[in-house]
Amino acid sequence: MTRIESSDLEDLQQLHQKLGAFCTLLVSKVKDASRSGTVTVQTDRVLYFSEKTSNNAANLLVNFGVMRVDAAKNKGALSEKDGT
């Protein structure tokens, strides 16, 4: 089991601010991702999430379930797509 340290959260916050992102996820590379949902990224952007899988390929990124969201950047972000 991987432990999340306060320095990880501080790094997450700094990266979030540097990128000016709406949402920043804490992910980790694991040897066996068969028990976790995985995240596929390209150039620091999430392409998609995959649910737990029997694929035990090495060095996949897993989502820790920790994210930093900038609520101010969210205003209207979904309104055009979901009709709200």
**For the chain, which residues make up each domain, given as ranges?**
25-73
> What is the DSSP annotation of 10-69?
HHHHHHHHHHT-SEEEEEEEES--TTS-EEEEETTEEEEEE---S---SSEEEEEEEEEE
Question: Would the pLDDT of 47 be above 70?
Answer: yes
Tell me the pLDDT band of 65, cut-offs 50, 70 and 90: confident
- Determine the Cα–Cα distance for residues 29 and 71; give it in Å rounded to an integer: 28
Which residue has better confidence, 35 or 4? 35
Report the half-sphere exposure of 63 (CA within 13 A, side-chain side). Answer: 18
**For 11-32, what is the mean pLDDT?**
84
What's the chain's average pLDDT? 76
Which residue has better confidence, 80 or 12? 12
